[in-house]
Amino acid sequence: LDYIATNKVVPEVIEQIVKGISDACVETNTALIGGETAEMGEMYHEGEYDVAGFAVGAVEKDDYVDGSEV
């Protein structure tokens, strides 16, 4: 999932951001299954963007890394 918030949506900029996220998903064999784009003029200055993402996955029990050796 992705989330993009900005002062005013500029479609060309949003397209570039989503393309970058999509390219990363292809590279990591994951899927972008949804997201939100919010135009919040009262919260952000012109040209400011807030971008966040969330991912969840599954792993075979034998491949689990518990961090004890990090």
The whole-angstrom separation of Cα 2 and Cα 33 is 9
> What pLDDT was estimated at residue 39?
97
CA dihedral (6, 9, 3, 12) positive or negative: negative
Q: Which fold has domain 2-55?
A: 60s Ribosomal Protein L30; Chain: A; (3.30.1330)
pLDDT tens for 11-25 read: 999 999 999 999 999
pTM here is 0.77
Residue-range domain boundaries for the chain:
2-55
